[in-house]
Amino acid sequence: MGVPDRYHLVVANARLRGRGDIVHHIGIRSGRIAAIEPSPLRGDAELDAAGNLVTPSFVNAHLHL
């Protein structure tokens, strides 16, 4: 068995829309989501979402010129 992947940041215990009541762990590498897994991931830093909903950033694309 190989060495498990390591990420720059892991968002642990995250609830994701449309993924049921299972908490997931999100691995981020080089500023991009590299993995979403139900089992824990290893990272240089970890942010515990504590079962809260994790969403993409909200962008206001409404613009007046």
pLDDT digits (tens, 9 = 90+) for 16-65: 988 677 899 999 999 999 999 999 999 999 999 999 999 887 777 777 76
What's the burial of 3, exposed, middle or buried (CB within 10 Å: 0-12/13-18/19+)?
exposed
Strand duo 32-37 + 6-14: pairing: unpaired
Domain boundaries, the chain: 6-48
**Rounded Cα–Cα distance for residues 17 and 59 (Å):** 18
- Using the predicted structure, report yes or no on whether residue 2 has a pLDDT greater than 60: no
The reported pLDDT for the residue numbered 1 is 45
Q: What is the pTM of this model?
A: 0.78
Instruction: Locate 61 and state its tokens.
Output: 């694309």
